[in-house]
Every structure is written in C-alpha cells, then in structure tokens.
Amino acid sequence: MSVNYAAGLSPYADKGKCGLPEIFDPPEELEQKVWELARLVWRSSNVVFHTGAGISTASGIPDFRGPHGVWTMEERGLAPKFDTTFESARPTRQNVDGLHVRSGFPRNKLAELHGNMFIEECAKCKTQYVRDTVVGTMGLKATGRLCTVAKARGLRACRGELRDTILDWEDSLPERDLALADEASRSADLSITLGTSLQIRPSGNLPLATKRRGGRLVIVNLQPTKHEDKDEDSTAQLNGSTPARSKSEPRSPRMERPDSPASCGPPKRLKAEAVPS
C-alpha cells in the first residue's frame, strides 16, 4: 500500500532525512518505559495519538524513511521490498490505508491529515463515501462517480463530483481534519506519537501544542525524531517496535501495575490523528 501510494505522488526532491539508524532500548529499560507510559495514560484526562507509517512495518508493509523504507530505497536506486500484500496484511494501522476507520474508531474523533485511499468526497456537499476498495485516483482528482445524497425534501440527488481525499505534496491539508487535530493537540494533556519521524509539517509539529500548554509528549519510534530534546519533564522517548509495545504487557515483578480503571474514574477521552512519517 505504501509503495502504491508513493508511486502515485508527483516527483518531489525534498523527502526529508531517510535511512537514519534505528535505536533499540534494552528490553528491561523498554519494559519500564512502557509501564511509565501506561501510568501516564491512566492519569491523563485527554490523550491524543499521532500515528505514522512505522506502525505497519511489522505486517510487511514498508514505511517511507526507515532503513528499508520506500524513499530510503529510492535514494539508493533500489526498489522497496515488502513481504505481504495490502489485502493479506493484518490491520495494524498505516497512514492513508483506511484501517483506522475500518477498526471502528469514531470518524468524528479521527483526523486523517493526508487522506484515505478508500474515501471519496463530494465537491459540492462534502459528503464522504467509505468504499470497500481503493477509489482509484490520487491528488484530489475526480473519481468518475457522482454524489447520490438527496437534496432538501428529497427532490433529487446532489450529483456533485466525487473526488479522492489523498493529498499530493503541495496540496493543503483538509480544513476539517486539521482543525480537529489542532484542537485535540491543544486540549490534550498527553500526546503519544507512534511510528512517525515527525518530519512533515504542519502535521509533525502538532504534538508540540500539547507541550506548550504544559502537557507531556511521548515519542515511540525506532529512529531519532526532530522533537527529541533534553526536557525530560515534558518529553519521553521509547525506542521499540510499535506493534510489539502496543500488544504486549510488561511482566516485571519489580514494578507495580498502573492504577486500575475502576480507581481512576471514567474512561479517558481518546482521539487519534494519522500523521504520515
């Protein structure tokens, strides 16, 4: 999916820093950091997740700037390698692939900043259609289909032109999704980035809005990001595989479990935004 997506974009010279070395925390250190992150989540009232292509690499879908990423291999004059097709990959998230929506995550709490290959939108009434297959175009182009939503009193269909939602390099971010992501980042007391190098602006700078308002930022990535700093009071770094850390549960006997949900009040407000790495 990332290979097809990258191939459909216009030529662009500056793709950011590619192929940076990966850093792995020692198992015990990483386990301790995961427990600390779990405590942060339970003690926070508003948590935002910023997700990137790195969360799908364990499924065989390459990212973009990793050691074997699409654009890293392109810089070396090589073709990207992948171990699976999108159809057979398990849903572990990857920007533009539509898996956030398919997972059942509420659409009104999800900001897909660079689009969704399975969604087309009416240019007139802005109604969105979620398809079972990719819509077939990229770059906000017409898909060849028309809007079927009935107008007032149901007299006739809108028949507005449907367009894909995938951005090309110079396209502006969708207003609705950017506003949602910005508001969520500003109001959050904890932002967690998963599998993104945070190089693309303005998407990559959204987590900083949480820090500026006194919140915490946790970066989960194998490669360095531009937002790492020595401000340990507000920023933490976990260097580990995102899928493994998301599914596993630390078992260290030296550490207490995070407070249970029952002792922490109502469930936390969770929001997510897809930030391509």
pTM comes to 0.70
Q: What is the pLDDT of residue 92?
A: 29
The Cα-based distances of 92 to 55, 80, 121, 169 in angstroms read: 6, 20, 25, 25
Residue 27 has pLDDT above 60, yes or no: yes
**What are 28-31's contacts with CB under 8 Å, separation 24+?**
28/252, 30/238, 30/239, 30/240, 30/245, 31/250, 31/251, 31/252
Over residues 124-129, the mean pLDDT reads 93
Q: What is 209-226 written as a DSSP string?
A: HHHHTT-EEEEE-SS--T
Binding residues for Zn(2+): 122, 125, 147, 158
Binding residues: 122, 125, 147, 158
Q: What is the pLDDT of residue 11?
A: 56
Q: What is the pLDDT of residue 246?
A: 52
- 155 φ/ψ angles, rounded to the nearest 5 degrees: -70, -45
Residue 186 has pLDDT above 80, yes or no: yes
- Tokens at 138, concatenated: 């990229």
- 106 φ/ψ angles, rounded to the nearest 5 degrees: -55, 125
Give the residue numbers marked as catalytic: 114
Q: Given pLDDT bands bounded at 50, 70 and 90, which one contains residue 129?
A: very high
**Spacing of C-alpha 166 from chain mean position:** 14
Name the more confident of 4 and 103: 103
Residue 221 has pLDDT above 60, yes or no: yes
The tens digit of pLDDT for each residue in 49-67 reads 888 767 766 666 666 666 6
- Tokens at 73, concatenated: 């291999």
Domains of the chain: 19-60+90-112+172-274 (3.40.50.1220)
Q: What is the pLDDT of residue 147?
A: 96
Over residues 146-150, the mean pLDDT reads 93
